[in-house]
Amino acid sequence: MTISDCPSAAAQAERFLRSDVGRAIVHRTLDANSLSQNLQEDLVQDALARVCSAAARGEVIDNVEAFAIVVLRRAAIDIVRGRVRSPQLVDWAEIVDPDAEGQGWPFDAASPLDVEADALGRRSLADLRAALRPLLALDPAAGAAALAYLAITVDGAAPAPPCPQPDGGATAGERAEWAALHYSGQSRCFPRDDRPGHGGAGSPAAVRKRRSRAAGRMRDLLARAATAAGLEPQGALHG
């Protein structure tokens, strides 16, 4: 199962969890943990997000209904734990060294998709952002950049100083990418970082390479979200 299957996996899980049998299981799960039945919708939404994230990570889900019950239970225990994650689920790389490059999205190829051109209608844009949401858990920095990129290229948000800008001759897309990476906190993608404790970003070539990879991760994330949202890749919706 891949991210393109995410909507179908989530839809199947949702149909099950909202069926009579599913509702009874939701009720039982909350009851088993002495939690209020007011939390039914939170629990279902959390479980669906976990199904989607698992699909996006490429986890094999043989039986969506059984998996939905498993993640439902995990979501309930998570509440009893005060929504404090286990060490296995914490992104320690981000905490140990906030300036390190994340592991990132596992696909590094550039996307041919011209997402901003495809996202013509408000509904499509909303669908695209909704499809991005489960992907944020996989690569938060790339996801944050993707959201900023959409805000600039589709909604007309205007970056402001101290947002770095490429030298003259850069395309609008490149300028938007720079801004998107800046607003997603990826300061080491730029030539200078004078903030205390950040120690500079390295040689110009290293910075360029880092920026290129980060932009690639952002584009891949957007492309995958567009596919999941049912937007046609390869710019087929243009015109």
Please say which residue, 122 or 192, places its beta carbon nearer to other proteins: 122
**Which parts of 30-89 interact with other proteins (CB under 8 A)?**
32-36, 38-39, 41-42, 45-46, 49, 53, 62-63, 66-67, 69-70, 73, 77, 79-88
- Token representation of residue 191: 């030539």
Kindly state the smallest distance separating residue 216's Cβ from other proteins, in Å.
19
Binding-site member from 5, 23, 124, 137 for other proteins (CB under 8 A)? 137
Binding-site member from 109, 168, 195, 205 for other proteins (CB under 8 A)? 195
Binding-site member from 5, 12, 157, 213 for other proteins (CB under 8 A)? 157
**Which parts of 174-193 interact with other proteins (CB under 8 A)?**
179, 183-185
Binding-site member from 168, 169, 196, 204 for other proteins (CB under 8 A)? 196
User: In terms of C-beta density within 10 A (0-12 exposed, 13-18 middle, 19 or more buried), how is residue 101 classed?
Assistant: middle
Kindly state the smallest distance separating residue 109's Cβ from other proteins, in Å.
23
Please say which residue, 85 or 192, places its beta carbon nearer to other proteins: 85
Residue 94 touches other proteins, criterion: CB under 8 A: yes
Binding-site member from 1, 9, 151, 218 for other proteins (CB under 8 A)? 151
Residue 90 touches other proteins, criterion: CB under 8 A: yes
**Which parts of 116-135 interact with other proteins (CB under 8 A)?**
122, 126, 129-130, 132-135
Q: How far apart are CA 118 and CA 109, in angstroms?
A: 20
Kindly state the smallest distance separating residue 62's Cβ from other proteins, in Å.
6
Residue 91 touches other proteins, criterion: CB under 8 A: yes
User: Residue-wise over 163-184: b if at least 16 C-beta within 10 A, else e?
Assistant: bbeeeeeeeeeebbbbbbbbbb
Residue 99 touches other proteins, criterion: CB under 8 A: no
**Which parts of 203-232 interact with other proteins (CB under 8 A)?**
none
Please say which residue, 112 or 123, places its beta carbon nearer to other proteins: 123
